[in-house]
């Protein structure tokens, strides 16, 4: 049966727990800071909502696109190869990038600096996991994956 994942057994073992904890921490920090206490949203005094909200919404939608597009990849486990088509032809870690943009959109919309600090921590975690997974993919695919790394950016789509 085809699998719907780019890495599957090459994922970092803490991938899913890290993502779940990140989402929970984001919600726990972002909602109170953005809508109740507003401790770190003082930038909203200088940047109007009609600028921050549309930009944040656009970033969020782009993030959803990357996550959605990364899940559309289906491959046959008996014919393993490096997937370099679709969104994987533009960025090596579209699911992580989509998640990061999904977090960043609401941060931009409400200008919550405390959640921006959390976002930086999440980026560092995703970058660590992506590097770990890439080492495993190099072990599995060798020069084919190294060539892919040369052609496709880790984080910035082209």
pLDDT digits (tens, 9 = 90+) for 4-59: 344 456 789 999 999 999 999 999 999 999 999 999 999 999 999 999 999 999 99
pLDDT over 80 at 61, yes or no: yes
Q: What is the percent of the chain where pLDDT is above 90?
A: 82
Backbone angles phi, psi at 151, to 5 degrees: -85, -30
- Per-residue model confidence (pLDDT) at position 78: 63
- Per-residue model confidence (pLDDT) at position 72: 79
Which residues, in sequence order, are CB contacts of 110 under 8 Å at separation 6+? Answer: 30, 33, 34, 35, 41, 44, 52, 56
- Per-residue model confidence (pLDDT) at position 79: 66
Cα 114 to Cα 20, 85, 108, 158, distances in angstroms: 19, 37, 12, 30
**Do residues 1 and 74 touch, judged by C-beta distance below 8 A?**
no
For residues 85 and 34, the model is more confident at 34
């Amino acid at each position: 049966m085809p699998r719907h994942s780019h890495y599957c057994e090459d994922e970092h073992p803490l991938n899913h727990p890290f993502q779940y904890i990140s989402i929970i921490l984001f919600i726990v920090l972002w909602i109170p800071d953005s809508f109740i206490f507003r401790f770190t949203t003082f930038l909203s005094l200088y940047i109007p909502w009609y600028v921050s909200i549309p930009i944040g919404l656009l970033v969020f939608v782009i993030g959803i696109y990357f996550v959605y597009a990364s899940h559309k990849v289906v491959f046959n486990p008996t014919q393993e190869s490096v997937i370099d088509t679709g969104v994987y032809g533009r960025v090596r870690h579209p699911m992580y990038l989509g998640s990061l943009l999904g977090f960043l959109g609401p941060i931009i919309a409400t200008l919550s600096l405390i959640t921006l600090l959390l976002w930086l921590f999440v980026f560092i975690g995703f970058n660590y996991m992506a590097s770990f997974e890439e080492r495993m993919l190099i072990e599995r695919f060798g020069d084919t994956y190294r060539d892919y790394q040369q052609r496709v950016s880790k984080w910035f789509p082209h």
